[in-house]
Amino acid sequence: MTGMGEPFRVSDLLDTLIRLEERGSAFYEDLAARTKSERARALFEELSREEREHEALYSALKKEFGDGAPPDSDRIRHLDTLIRQSFAFEEFRPILKDSDKAWEQAIDFAIQLEKNTAAYVREIRSILRTEAPEVFEAILAEEERHLRMLADYKNEAGF
């Protein structure tokens, strides 16, 4: 495990992205399970599936460029702290009642999540520079497509 003061390795950065995609996928799965709207369910299921695809891409990159070892439980707790500081999943209150306001807040949170993820991916891409630029470009394109999907849904839902 990387101690305090030691630089993050490529595998550390990719582990963080893997954990972020795991948490994003779980977030969208939860929204899909809670909504009564078939359209919203399809959107959230698609987003969850694509987050899992991103997780698989980052796992493959880790095998190629990282040390390949899965993070231990201390590493996972550290990465979760890093993600919490950057992405504030805990700030989102689960939807307790099926109201337009609650769903608008969920969509707004999802939009912010995608924006923050794209910014984080850009930052890691700049650190890794020459490592798999085509993968990072493809994932950024998908994150931006996710933003458009969510914004379109929000506009069409009248939020």
Q: What is the pLDDT of residues 114-142, one digit of tens each?
A: 988 888 888 878 877 777 788 888 889 98
Looking at residue 70, the DSSP 8-state letter turns out to be: P
User: Within 10 A of 139 (CB to CB), how many other CB atoms are there?
Assistant: 22
Read off the tokens for 90: 């805990």
Instruction: Tokens for 15, please give them.
Output: 């582990």
Contact 44, 32 (CB under 8 A): yes
pLDDT, tens digit (0-9, with 9 covering 90-100), for 75-95: 677 766 777 777 777 666 666
Question: For the segment 142-159, what is each residue's pLDDT rounded down to a tens digit?
Answer: 889 999 999 999 999 888
Q: Rounded CA gap, 108 and 102, in Å? A: 10
Asked if the model's pLDDT at residue 22 lies above 80, the reply is yes
Q: What is the pLDDT of residues 46-59, one digit of tens each?
A: 999 999 999 998 88
Q: What percent of the chain has pLDDT over 90?
A: 30
If you average pLDDT over every residue of the chain, what do you get?
82
The predicted structure's pLDDT at residue 29 = 95
